Amino acid sequence: MAIKQLSIFIENREGTLVTVTDAIARAGVDIRAMSVADTQDFGIFRLIVTDIEKAKAELEDSNCFVSITNVVGVAVNDEPGSLAKVIRILADNNINIDYMYAFITVSRKYAYVVLRVEDNAVAEKILTENGIRLVTEDDIVGM
Amino acid sequence: MSHEGIRALQLEKLQKQVRHVYDNVAYYRNLMDERGVKPEDIVTLEDIAKLPFLSKDDLREAYPYGMLATDIKNCVRIQSTSGTTGKRVVAFYTQEDIEIWEECCARAIVAAGGTNEDVCQVCYGYGLFTGGPGLNGGSHKVGCLTLPMSSGNTDRQIQFMMDLGATILCCTPSYAAYIGESLKERGYKPEDNKLKAGIFGAEPWTEEMRRDIERSLGIKAYDIYGLTETSGPGVSFECEEQTGMHINEDHFLAEIIDPDTGEVLPEGSKGELVFTSLDKEAFPLLRYRTRDICVLTREKCSCGRTFVKMSKPMGRSDDMMIIRGVNVFPSQIEAVLLNEGYAPNYLIEVDRVNNSDTLDVFVEMSEEYFSDTVKNITKREKALAAAIRAMLGISPSVHLVAPKTIERSEGKAVRVIDKRKRLGINI
């Protein structure tokens, strides 16, 4: 059920980000969502794209350091309080979130939220049980 | 003592020492036999070139008793190196060995103006490290009131220094600089303390650092040199001229050799310093290669001493680095990396910030070690730093980098960038 995220290691040097974005452009894939974690030495660029294998191959050809990570995607209603509900469910079940980021769909009916947790299966089960809709790969491509 | 007098004394002691070693140290006797050299072949001082060299590797191989030249019942003490390069070197001392060692340290204190009216604060480490015990013994011999502080606990150091009116400070130059800063932070001016001299060694330092320390403590700073293998500090020491360290030639015979060929070089040439301990009973090393590169000069010294002077070491003939007073080889860091599952693609960066050495290690990550969370990468960096610390005894900053980003070079890889060199520090 989990969706796949590209995780790219980016050193804090000039031009590294350009190499990444150029490779994705060459792969001809769309970026649906992204986030960057930054530390003093390095950053981790995280992307949800329409064709992950194609993007990964192109990135590797450009000598980028990349891996695929399974993350949980949830669809929340695009209205106040929806995210709070999801977070509350996770908190109540002692599930820690390592990081999260969101993107708004064109229809504006849902916002998609990407969550990175320790155990995807457990989180997905609990969220589903609480009536939260999970995002699938098809949702991403069909956005 | 005249130069001729020193040479005559050295020859007499050398002949006796070679005989002593040949008769009692099987390891060295075998080396001599392999070369076909007998003790009676040492007729002039120059004949020392016939003798085989000893290296740190020999001492490791002979660990722990292989270099011992007397019955253990005649020994009263051991001292030891930090053991960071694998096996420790353990040096043995008879009471007479200790007397001579302390005498050498006493000369260093006297050369720094010490008398029995002085209060000598020793904040080198006490224990296996030779710094504390050596200067402590030297201070006793001079008759100073000795404050055996050992290292660390700066608050206490400063309290004793001020309350008991310490006049001579013995420690590493970086700790002296730190004490200077700490005094300033506490609102003391250089003239508020009674210190007049400092005897600083065990790590490389520059002229600039000397002037900084002298200003901040209001003292004159003297360099001291030594190594556990020959005894400890006091093999050589500076006089008030501060232009090199007089070698205690009545106890140590110094040579300068070409580190590649082993050929003895004429006085005044730059090369590797080699020591023969002329009086050691328990642990007498003949032609021990220090790996320190320096120059010996025998010009007349204004202090009146006739002992030859050695320059501050200008470098090392191997790849050893001295970081915060600890001997570090790149191969040790490499061993930790391999042990922790990393490829041996790394870069070591050494620098000095605020008079303290820094060690940064850049390591390429493997695919399996890459994580999409900062937390996991940081955790790996910390674990690797802890493993390196366990090996070296000093803490590095570890930086994981992407694969294939550390420059590969043709031939010998550049593993170390020592930025201290730009500061003019002779490593």
Of A85-99, B30-44, B308-322, the poorest mean pLDDT is in: B308-322
Is B128 in the same domain as B176? yes
**Containing structural domain, residue B239:** 76-318
Q: Which of B370, B373, B374 sits opposite A65 (nearest CB)?
A: B370
Confidence of residue B405 (pLDDT cuts 50, 70, 90): confident
Name the least confident of A132-141, B137-146, B391-400: A132-141
Q: Are residues A75 and A131 in the same domain?
A: yes
Looking up tokens 């490791």 gives B60
Of B285, B318, B351, which closes a domain?
B318
Which chain B residues are Cβ-neighbours of A39 within 8 angstroms? 374, 378
* Position B406, amino acid: I
Residue B38 one-letter amino acid = K
A99 touching B (Cβ < 8 Å): yes
Mean of the pLDDT values across residues B331-339?
Answer: 81
SS3 A46: strand
Chain A residues touching B360 at Cβ < 8 A: none
Residues 6+ positions from B125 with CB-CB distance below 8 Å: B131, B132, B150, B151
CB B45, CB B14: distance < 8 Å: yes
The residue of chain B with its CA nearest to that of A68 is B372
Record: contact B372-A65, CB cut-off 8 A = no
pLDDT along chain A (143 residues), means of 10: 89 87 94 90 92 94 92 90 94 94 78 92 94 87 72
Residues A39 and A99 in one domain: no
Q: Which pLDDT does position B178 carry in this prediction?
A: 84
Indicate the residue of A5, A41, A64 with minimum beta-carbon distance to B372: A5
The CATH number assigned to the domain holding B158 equals 3.40.50.12780
* ipTM tops 0.85: no
**Beta bridge mates, A48:** A33
Structural domain count of chain A = 2
Q: Is the pLDDT of residue B335 over 90?
A: no
State the nearest Cα–Cα gap between B388 and chain A, in angstroms.
19
In the prediction, which pLDDT does B78 show?
A: 97
Question: Residue holding tokens 């004159």?
Answer: B220
Residue B104 in domain: yes
Say if B400 is an interface residue toward chain A (CB within 8 Å): yes
Is B56 inside any structural domain? no
- Regarding whether A78 and A109 lie in a shared domain, the answer is yes
Give which of A8, A38, A41, A116 to mutate to test B binding, by max B Cβ within 10 Å.
A41
- Residues with Cβ within 8 Å of residue B419, at least 6 apart in sequence: B349, B350, B351, B352
CB contact under 8 A, B372 and A116: yes
Q: Show residues of chain B in contact with A69, CB under 8 Å.
A: 372
What one-character-per-residue DSSP string does B226-274 give?
Answer: EETTTTEEEEEEE-TT-SSEEE-TTTEEEEEE-TTT-PBPPTT-EEEEE
Write the residue in B373, B377, B403 that is nearest to A116 by C-beta: B373
Give yes or no for B366 touching A (CB within 8 A). no
- Which pTM was predicted? 0.66
Domain count, chain B: 2
Asked if residue A78 and residue A61 are part of one domain, the reply reads no
pLDDT tier for residue B411 given thresholds of 50, 70 and 90: very low
The domain of A98 spans: 71-141
Q: Over 80: is that where the pLDDT of B84 sits?
A: no
For residue B413, name the pLDDT band (cuts at 50, 70, 90): low
Indicate if the pLDDT at residue B193 is higher than 70: yes
CATH number at residue A80: 3.30.70.260
Judge whether B406 is closer than 8 Å to chain A, CB to CB. no
A40 touches chain B (CB under 8 A): no
Question: Are A41 and A90 in the same domain?
Answer: no
Q: What pLDDT is attached to residue B412?
A: 47
Cα B148 to Cα B140: distance, rounded to the nearest angstrom: 11
User: Does B377 contact A at CB distance below 8 Å?
Assistant: yes
